[in-house]
Each structure stands twice: as C-alpha cells, then as structure tokens.
Amino acid sequence: MRYLMGIDIGTTSTRAIIINAATGKLAAEGVAPYPMRTPHPAWAEQDPADWVKGAAKAIRVALKKAGKGEICAVGLTGQMHSSVFLDDKGQVIRPAILWCDGRTATECDEMTRRVGKQRLLNIARNIALPGFTAPKILWLAKNEPAAFKRVAKVLVTKDYIRYVMTGVFAAEVSDASGMLLLDVAQRRWSPEILHALKIPEKWLASVFESPEVTGHVSREGSRIFGLPEGIPVVGGGGDQAAGAVGNGIIGEGDVTISLGTSGVVFAPSRKPPIATGSSVHAFCHAVPQMWHTMGVMLAAGGSMQWFRDFLRFEKNKRLSYADINALASKSPPGSAGVVFLPYLTGERTPYNDPKARGAFVGLTLSHDITHVARAVMEGVAFGIKDCAGLMRDAGAPMKNVYISGGGATSDLWRRIIASVIERPVKRLEVDQGPAMGAALLAGVGARVWPDVKSATRRALRVKDETEPRKEDFKKYREMYERYRALYPGLAPYFRSGA
C-alpha cells in the first residue's frame, strides 16, 4: 500500500494524517496536544520543542494505525506567522512568538513608516498587522537586543519542523506571504522591504512553490519522527492555504469558510489581489501561479469555546457543545433581539483593532440561555459576513461555498451561516482541512498526481449541502445592520481600557 502523509502543526496540537495514494481516502491519523503560554497580557508564545515532540507523537500514532505500507511523501502545514529565531548553530534562541500575539502594534507603525504605506501595499499586498512575522523581528531588535544579535535564521512554524526533519532551510510562497517580507506578485523575497527594515536576506529560507520537493527526511529526522530516511518533503502551505487545497478551493469563485478557533473566509484568484489597505489579507495560494484573499475573525469557534467554559455550573462540570446547540435551536432566528459581538481577543477583519472586546447587547428580563446561545452563533455568522463583504469589494466572487472546521459539525450553525450570507454551504466527506491539503500537495510533489487540480478531483467528495432559509433573510439583514452599528459606538469604550 502506498501512502501520503500530511502534518499540521496547529496552535493547540499537531495532527498527522495518512491517506491512500491511490484513492485519497483517510487511512489513519494521530493527534498530540501541547500548551500555549501567555507570560504577559496580549502575549502568546510556544516552545518549538513542543512542536517537535507533538509532531513525533502524532506521526508515530498515525503510522501505527496505518499498519504496513510505504509513505511516498510528506507535506507540512501549520499556524501562520509564528516566528522561530535560530542562531548560527540552528538552536532556538527564545520561545516562538505566535500569530495571535498582540505585542507589536508599535512595530507595525514603525514598519509602515520605514517602508512607506503605499509601497508596503504594492509589494506585500497587506497592511502591517501585529500577528505577522516582520513586526516580531523589529520587536526582538528593540526589546531583546542580546537575543537579536544571535539571530541567523527566522522561520515560521512548519518550516522549523521541516528543518528538524530534513536539515534544510526552506519556505514556500503561501506561508512566506504572511511574513510580510515577500513580494507577493513576484513570489520572492522583497529586497526593498528587507533593506528598509535592515533584515539580511540570508536570515530567510529559500522560497519554493507549495508542491515542490524541498528536501528529504534525514537520518536525524528519521530518529526523531519515526519516518523512513530519504522520504521527500514538499513545500506544503500555511494552514489556510493548505486547508483550502484540502477543501478543493483552488479556482476563482470557490470560497471556503473555516470555523476553527478563528473564523476564516478564503477565496482564490488568478491574479495578485488588489491591495485595498483593509484588514483583508492578500497572499500567494498553495496552488502554483494562484493567489488568494482572506478575511480573518479571531474568535469564531473560540467564542463558542469561551461560552461553553463560561457555563460551568459545578466544578469540572460544564455543558457540551451538543447541549449548547440544542439550547440555541429553541430560540427564534435573531435571538429575540440579542446581539453578540465576538471580539473576545480583539478583531482583525474588518476592524484591525486588538482592543475590541466581546459584548452581549439587547438583553432583557424576558431573555434566557436559549437566546444567548443562539446569539453567539449568529454573532460569529455576522463576523463571517463582514469578511465576505470586504473580500467581495476586493474583487473575489462567491459562487461555490464550502465550510469546514469543528464548528461546521453543527447543523444549526451551518444553517445560520448559510442564511446570513444567503448562499448554500457544502461539506466534504473528509474534513481534515490543512493536513489533507498538505497530504495532497505531497502527492503532487511525489508525482502521484500531475497537479493540484487532479489531486483534489481524485481525493475529495461532497458530503452534504445546507440550504439557507429564505424566510430568515429579512430578519438576519435587520440584525446584521444592528450588529454593524454596535462596534463604532462601543469602540471608544474599548479603547479606554475599561
């Protein structure tokens, strides 16, 4: 049996999957969790050694479950933007600063000033945001100069795992886009940005297309991860680009909504997207000579997780997601006027405001937990609509909409989202998202399939389609307008630090 492996180095865990190289069907998977640390408010860090341990465990579990067979190639994906600083011996200098870390607002302003706002938009196709990698480099130079002097390489999450696995420093275009150091249209590092920020290009890995072979499992990599020596490792992709491949989102008009911890709306394009200066991202896709736009809300499934944890009636006892879903189903559309703002960790799209905060608005004595539970779901759906609207303004059409992630397992939440965006939403039979995309890219690199389109056609099949409820359109349009009016009114309160 010939297999392909996809490895997703996530924020809370690593997932390794093995798929059948002939059919694309899932053969086995392994998952290993690890912690995230918040040493100061708005900080988020992880020890890259935890990623290595997590990947090693997940890979071994998957290999054991799959049984006999040959792994033809490995694809890598993972959380974007998170920065790993290495010295000249390849040793980690300090904990990785993650994508959800908010410490670099000042450095974003500095980067914009040094590069020039319009030049940054023209080259990197994005504004400087605290989650991106380049501002983290500036922060290190200013706040930890002794560590900065030791820097010899800067990698993002999956590319560090690649280095440990193969001994090769390599990057690929989709993840490199999120470092804010790439000329997105030309798909190469930008000498102009690097010069303005005084970052040596030798600190950065060579850039490949996502299905290209970047190296092979080394002897040391084999010992650490349990993979046979010599297996090819392809470029892979940032988690959203790889997740889009894993959902078949590779052509214009295709859109995917990901309901993980964050909420993402993703749309491919045949040309480099127009830089609008908004908080919509414009990156290279994991499909060669394709690009994509992406809107990101920071707490989608994260809002539901918070709500579940908040409803803790006794020590170590809480409602399940199924319980909350059942409660929400008893509320009418519009939650009887209750509106939830899902800005629990600030917000990226559409406001780019790390100080934005969550809120319930419109509560009365007549409301109960059913209304509040549904309001959480609807608030996230309105945030998804915010992202989709900005992307439409940037020229991204929305024809075929797919939905994935943990939140998409809820029939009710899918129906709410479909009704809010007024489009049917489809699910695939296998929802392995980024890990599946990484495995398919590995198959292209190993020449199992000639290109990414062939891989997705062979491996992916639609499971179901959720139609919107047309009778809910009027109510949701009304509630969305209320939702949109709340942030401008509350923003001064958020910024006051209260």
Q: What is the Cβ-side half-sphere exposure of residue 474, based on CA atoms within 13 angstroms?
A: 1
Residue 461 is predicted with a pLDDT of: 87
Shared domain for 309 and 223, answered yes or no, is no
Shared domain for 204 and 282, answered yes or no, is no
235, 260, 294 - which closes a domain: 235
Q: What are phi and psi of 370, to 5 degrees?
A: -65, -40
Shared domain for 133 and 264, answered yes or no, is no
Residue at 242 is within a domain: no
Residue at 244 is within a domain: no
185, 206, 235 - which closes a domain: 235
Shared domain for 87 and 187, answered yes or no, is yes
Shared domain for 442 and 301, answered yes or no, is yes
Shared domain for 361 and 254, answered yes or no, is yes
* Structural domain total, the chain: 2
Shared domain for 71 and 152, answered yes or no, is yes
Shared domain for 153 and 53, answered yes or no, is yes
Residue 314 is predicted with a pLDDT of: 58
Residue 334 is predicted with a pLDDT of: 98
Shared domain for 70 and 201, answered yes or no, is yes
Q: Are 58 and 32 in contact (CB under 8 A)?
A: yes
Residue 316 is predicted with a pLDDT of: 61
Residue 315 is predicted with a pLDDT of: 59
213, 235, 257 - which closes a domain: 235
Shared domain for 275 and 396, answered yes or no, is yes
Residue 88 to residue 92: CA distance in whole angstroms: 10
Residue at 333 is within a domain: yes
Active-site residue 239, yes or no?
Answer: yes
Digit-by-digit pLDDT tens for the chain (498 residues) are: 899 999 999 998 999 999 999 889 999 999 999 999 999 988 999 999 999 999 999 999 999 999 889 999 999 999 999 999 999 999 999 999 999 898 999 999 999 999 999 999 999 999 998 889 999 999 999 999 999 999 999 999 999 999 999 999 999 999 999 999 999 999 999 999 999 999 999 999 999 999 999 999 999 999 999 999 999 999 999 998 999 999 899 999 899 998 988 899 999 999 888 776 677 889 999 999 999 999 989 899 999 999 998 887 655 667 889 999 999 999 999 999 999 999 998 898 898 888 899 999 999 999 999 999 999 999 999 999 999 988 887 777 788 999 988 899 999 999 999 999 999 999 988 777 899 999 999 999 999 999 999 999 988 888 999 999 999 999 999 999 999 999 999 999 998 875
Residue 282 to residue 267: CA distance in whole angstroms: 10
Residue 303 is predicted with a pLDDT of: 94
**pTM of this prediction?**
0.88
Residue at 424 is within a domain: yes
- Least Cα distance to 177 among 126, 212, 139, 223 occurs for 126
Catalytic residue among 8, 159, 239, 431: 239
Residue at 455 is within a domain: yes
Range of 195's domain? 2-235
Shared domain for 52 and 28, answered yes or no, is yes
Shared domain for 111 and 151, answered yes or no, is yes
Write the CATH number for 457. Answer: 3.30.420.40
